[in-house]
């Protein structure tokens, strides 16, 4: 078992593991909304658009987190406002904003040869360089996100499932959408340290999509997505430690492998499950496995 315990002798490993667990759990939970609201593309856009914010903050000597957050929020709301007008479809609006923002980051970075090395960490993640302060920020943000998601849970689910009813009942649909985008942006910004701009999308989508293949309720999907995010984060980091590979990439590949296995083998929604269910007389009825429902609001 020394392969399991030996790495724990290093402080930087402990910090990396703490960071990756917090990041994986947060991304996995918000990922449930990314899946059911089809926000994957917008999540990708926000994560890329964060880049020029990071570069500018770096140039100005300001907080990297702050720069990333501001750039992410501007992009999220730019997309929402342009798409809301209705003259440009949302996917086109996203394409315009995110490519432009990323291009701005690249142009800015090309003006100074010196910081290319430092900024590479933001593109592909830098778990080895996580500080105790980074972990504290990630944990505080993760906790705040869970609290907010719990507080407005039924309203967020209602607006996600049935916007028409939500607005007919007088719920502030646009404000709830905006809240979701803010939470998504904050999650992305604190996750970039661990997996980088390019790969954060995978942590938002893959664990949650895997969870969806295993459960048919929203809260179990969030909980399982959260667990899977933390689990593949931890296991992926161990793998990268022993193989000497890039941690962000290794974590994402492991998450993808888990997804593919689930996609084939899930008892309810997997390919094999579908084969088996073709034959019985029950075709068309509910999936046989229900998650334990102790209360009404899963």
- Footprint of another protein (CB under 8 A): 36, 86, 151-152, 154-155, 157-158, 160-162, 164-165, 167-170, 212, 215-218, 221, 284-287, 290, 293, 295-298
CB of 290 to another protein, least distance (A): 6
The smaller minimum CB distance to another protein, of residues 142 and 225, is found at: 225
The smaller minimum CB distance to another protein, of residues 118 and 290, is found at: 290
The smaller minimum CB distance to another protein, of residues 188 and 213, is found at: 213
CB of 173 to another protein, least distance (A): 10
Those residues with Cβ within 8 angstroms of residue 32's Cβ, 6 or more apart along the chain or in another chain: 208, 211, 212, 218, 221, 222, 225
CB of 285 to another protein, least distance (A): 6
Question: Cα 130 to the chain's mean position, in Å?
Answer: 19
CB of 260 to another protein, least distance (A): 20
Task: Judge contact between 58 and 109, C-beta under 8 A.
Answer: no
Measured between alpha carbons, how far is 116 from 122 in angstroms, rounded to an integer? 10
Those residues with Cβ within 8 angstroms of residue 23's Cβ, 6 or more apart along the chain or in another chain: 138, 142, 190, 191, 193, 194, 195, 203, 229, 233
Residue 178 C-beta-side C-alpha neighbours within 13 Å: 10
The smaller minimum CB distance to another protein, of residues 36 and 88, is found at: 36
CB of 13 to another protein, least distance (A): 36
Classify burial at 141, counting beta carbons within 10 Å of its beta carbon; exposed 0-12, middle 13-18, buried 19 or more: buried
The smaller minimum CB distance to another protein, of residues 169 and 276, is found at: 169
**CA 114-71-95 angle, 5° bins:** 100
Task: Give CA separation, 121 vs 52, 70, 100, in Å.
Answer: 14, 19, 21
The smaller minimum CB distance to another protein, of residues 200 and 205, is found at: 205
Classify burial at 42, counting beta carbons within 10 Å of its beta carbon; exposed 0-12, middle 13-18, buried 19 or more: buried
CB of 215 to another protein, least distance (A): 7
Mapped onto helix, strand or coil, the DSSP state of residue 225 is helix
CB of 296 to another protein, least distance (A): 6
The smaller minimum CB distance to another protein, of residues 157 and 180, is found at: 157
């Amino acid at each position: 078992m020394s392969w399991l315990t030996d790495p724990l002798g290093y402080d930087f490993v402990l910090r990396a593991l703490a960071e990756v667990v917090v990041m994986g759990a947060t991304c996995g939970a918000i990922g449930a909304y990314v899946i059911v609201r089809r926000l994957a593309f917008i999540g990708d856009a926000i994560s890329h658009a964060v880049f020029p914010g990071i570069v500018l903050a770096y140039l100005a000597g300001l907080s990297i987190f702050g720069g990333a957050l501001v750039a992410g929020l501007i992009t999220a709301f730019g997309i929402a406002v342009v798409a809301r007008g209705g003259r440009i479809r949302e996917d086109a609006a996203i394409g315009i904003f995110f490519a432009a923002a990323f291009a701005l980051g690249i142009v800015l970075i090309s003006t100074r040869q010196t910081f290319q090395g430092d900024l590479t960490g933001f593109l592909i993640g830098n778990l080895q360089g996580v500080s105790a302060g980074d972990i504290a920020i990630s944990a505080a943000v993760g906790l705040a996100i869970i609290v907010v998601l719990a507080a407005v849970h039924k309203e967020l689910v209602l607006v996600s499932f049935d916007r028409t009813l939500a607005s007919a009942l007088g719920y502030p649909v646009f404000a709830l959408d905006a809240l979701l985008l803010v939470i998504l942006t904050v999650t992305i910004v604190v996750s970039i340290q661990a997996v980088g701009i390019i790969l954060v999308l995978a942590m938002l989508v893959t664990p949650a999509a895997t969870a969806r293949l295993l459960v048919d309720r929203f809260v179990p999907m969030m909980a399982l997505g959260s667990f899977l995010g933390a689990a593949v984060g931890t296991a992926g980091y161990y793998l990268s430690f022993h193989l000497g590979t890039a941690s962000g990439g290794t974590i994402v590949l492991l998450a993808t492998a888990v997804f593919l296995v689930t996609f084939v083998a899930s008892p309810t929604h997997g390919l094999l499950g579908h084969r088996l269910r073709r034959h019985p007389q029950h075709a068309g009825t509910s999936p046989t496995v229900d998650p334990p429902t102790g209360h009404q609001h899963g």
